[in-house]
């Protein structure tokens, strides 16, 4: 686990990355990786010779190391203080996980030594494979499923190699109906139909966090712009959505439909999960 000191996830004590790099976005029209992915600008990506999205390093001993760390916390009586976000700089359920099962092995360690809170964030329906482990973690876990839009044409245009809207919603529903706490991470929000989106999310999750290319990039939108997001929105005629307040309608519709307590926003929203 990596100690989390401040930063965006400032109420979490640790992050955990079973993989370094990400291959979800290979072969996209817009280069490698999700076009808005800020990780490509972090040292972990900048020090690599290959472009972000084209490489993946598996931490094959991640679960063994984690298990030892959790055992230490158990001995010290500090397991309950841990708030862990898996993962902040990769997706723990990308393709390699099908065979490598590193994330699954981490969940097995967490099952034996449950932390105060584990948030598992992914965009992949593969997480359903581990539903039995997630159920055993009960109140110690939230699953956060990234779903930036309800419009699959938008999804195809902006993140074409991401799982479909339908498959992600279906995964959320299966987890939710199994009694696992599910957060929808509309992050970053892409063009959508607010009323349809709210209807879809109401039955599929307990909580929704909305974030934007302006509030969530840590630089008031400058980082998103430097990644070419403004140009990409213009290319598809989405320019009216490229605005710091463009999330207002979706937020209001979600609050009306789901209630204020189930709808949170940006950094504060991610950090107030319990």
The residue ranges that bind ligand SF4 (CB under 6 A) are 22, 24-25, 33-34, 37, 39, 53, 90-91, 123
Q: At what angle do helices 248-258 and 194-202 cross, to 10 degrees?
A: 40
**C-alpha to C-alpha distance for 204 and 103, rounded to whole angstroms:** 23
Cβ closer to ligand SF4: 34 or 107? 34
Q: How far is the CB of 66 from ligand SF4 (least distance, A)?
A: 20
Q: How far is the CB of 255 from ligand SF4 (least distance, A)?
A: 26
Beta carbons of 246 and 239 less than 8 angstroms apart: no
Strand 56-58 relative to strand 19-21: parallel, antiparallel, unpaired? antiparallel
Cβ closer to ligand SF4: 21 or 191? 21
- Largest CA-CA distance found in the chain, in angstroms, rounded: 57
Q: How far is the CB of 169 from ligand SF4 (least distance, A)?
A: 17
Q: How far is the CB of 185 from ligand SF4 (least distance, A)?
A: 11
Q: How far is the CB of 129 from ligand SF4 (least distance, A)?
A: 18
Strand 181-186 relative to strand 207-210: parallel, antiparallel, unpaired? parallel
Q: In what order do the strands lie in the sheet with 2-3?
A: 2-3, 14-15, 83-86, 117-122, 141-146, 181-186, 207-210, 263-265
Q: How far is the CB of 81 from ligand SF4 (least distance, A)?
A: 27
Beta carbons of 189 and 211 less than 8 angstroms apart: yes
Q: What is the enclosing helix (H) or strand (E) of 15?
A: strand 14-15
């Amino acid at each position: 686990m990596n100690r989390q000191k401040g930063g965006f996830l400032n109420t979490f004590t640790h992050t955990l990355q079973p993989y370094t790099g990400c291959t979800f976005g290979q072969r996209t029209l817009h280069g490698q990786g999700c076009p808005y992915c800020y990780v490509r600008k972090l040292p972990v990506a900048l020090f690599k010779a290959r472009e972000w999205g084209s490489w993946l390093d598996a931490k094959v001993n991640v679960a063994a190391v984690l298990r030892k760390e959790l055992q230490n916390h158990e001995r010290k009586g500090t397991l309950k203080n841990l708030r862990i976000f898996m993962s902040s700089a990769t997706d723990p359920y990308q393709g390699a996980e099908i065979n490598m099962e590193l994330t699954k092995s981490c969940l097995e360690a967490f099952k034996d030594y449950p932390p105060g809170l584990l948030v598992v964030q992914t965009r992949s329906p593969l997480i359903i494979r581990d539903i039995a482990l997630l159920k055993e973690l009960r109140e110690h876990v939230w699953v956060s499923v990234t779903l930036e839009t309800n419009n699959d044409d938008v999804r195809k245009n902006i993140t074409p190699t991401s799982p479909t809207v339908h498959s992600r919603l279906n995964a959320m529903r299966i987890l939710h109906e199994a009694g696992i706490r599910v957060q929808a991470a509309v992050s970053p929000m892409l063009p959508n139909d607010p009323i349809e989106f709210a209807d879809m999310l109401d039955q599929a999750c307990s909580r929704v966090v909305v974030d934007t290319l302006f509030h969530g990039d840590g630089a008031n939108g400058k980082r998103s712009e430097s990644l070419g997001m403004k140009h990409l929105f213009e290319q598809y005629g989405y320019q009216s959505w490229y605005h710091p307040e463009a999330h207002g309608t979706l937020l209001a519709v979600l609050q009306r439909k789901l209630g204020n307590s189930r709808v949170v926003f940006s950094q504060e929203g991610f950090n107030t999960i319990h």
